C-alpha cells in the first residue's frame, strides 16, 4: 500500500474532527454542489522548486483564480462571483500531498474561507493529475460571519499547461 493511500483515511478523519459541527436547532444545514470548468479557472501563480533527492520531486506554491460567470452557485441567497485558492504541495511526479486555503467572494462582498488537506495522484500514462481535497470552513465575513461546515473538492489538473477543473461539494450551517 502506498504512503498516500495510508495517509488518506487519517487526513479525512482529521479534517472531519476539526470541523465544529452545529449543536443547536437554530442552525440549518445546506449543501452546495457545483463544477468549475477549465475555462473559468486559471493558475495565476505557480512556483516549483526541485527538491533534488529523487527525479520529479518538487515543492510547489500555487494560486488559482476561479470565476463564476453563468449560473453561479448561491450561498445564503447570494451568488459566488469568484474564488481564490492558494496552496503548497509536495509532489513526486504529481503524486503527493498538500495544503490549500480558499476564499470565496460573494456578490455583496461577503466572504467565507476554507482550509483543506490535498492528496494528488497521477499514473505514468496519464496527462492530468487527480486531486481530492477535504477540510473545514474556517470562517466568514458579513452575513456569513457564523458559517460552519465542510468543503470537499475533486479536481483534474495539468499545472504545466495551466489547466484545472474542479467539482466542489460544500456543506454549511448558518446561525
**Structure confidence by residue, pLDDT tens digits, 84-113:** 999 999 999 999 999 999 999 999 999 999
Half-sphere exposure of 115 (CA within 13 A, CB side): 10
The predicted model scores a pTM of 0.84
- The arithmetic mean of pLDDT across residues 165-170, rounded, is 98
Query: What is the pLDDT, as a whole number, of residue 28?
Result: 78
| Confidence band of 2 (pLDDT split at 50, 70, 90) | low
Other beta carbons within 10 angstroms of residue 56's beta carbon come to 11
Least confident range from 25-34, 60-69, 100-109: namely: 25-34
- 16 versus 27: which is more confidently predicted? 27
Whether 85 contacts 64, CB under 8 Å? yes
Pick one of 2.40.350.10, 2.40.37.10, 3.40.50.11540, 3.40.50.300 as the CATH number of 3-174.
Answer: 2.40.350.10
Amino acid at each position: 500500500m502506498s504512503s498516500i493511500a495510508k495517509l488518506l483515511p487519517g487526513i479525512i478523519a482529521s479534517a472531519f474532527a476539526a470541523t465544529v459541527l452545529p449543536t443547536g436547532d437554530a442552525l440549518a444545514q445546506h449543501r452546495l454542489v457545483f463544477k468549475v470548468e477549465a475555462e473559468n479557472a486559471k493558475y495565476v501563480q505557480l512556483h516549483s522548486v526541485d527538491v533534488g533527492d529523487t527525479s520529479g520531486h518538487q515543492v510547489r506554491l500555487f494560486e488559482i483564480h476561479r470565476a463564476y460567470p453563468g449560473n453561479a452557485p448561491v450561498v445564503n441567497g447570494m451568488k459566488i462571483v469568484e474564488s481564490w485558492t492558494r496552496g503548497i504541495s509536495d509532489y513526486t511526479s504529481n503524486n503527493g500531498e498538500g495544503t490549500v486555503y480558499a476564499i470565496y467572494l460573494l456578490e455583496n462582498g461577503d466572504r467565507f474561507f476554507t482550509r483543506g488537506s490535498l492528496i494528488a495522484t497521477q499514473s505514468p500514462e496519464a496527462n492530468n493529475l487527480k486531486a481530492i481535497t477535504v477540510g473545514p470552513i474556517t470562517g466568514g465575513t458579513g452575513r456569513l460571519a457564523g458559517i460552519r461546515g465542510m468543503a470537499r473538492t475533486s479536481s483534474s489538473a495539468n499545472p504545466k499547461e495551466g489547466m484545472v477543473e474542479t467539482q466542489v461539494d460544500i456543506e454549511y450551517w448558518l446561525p
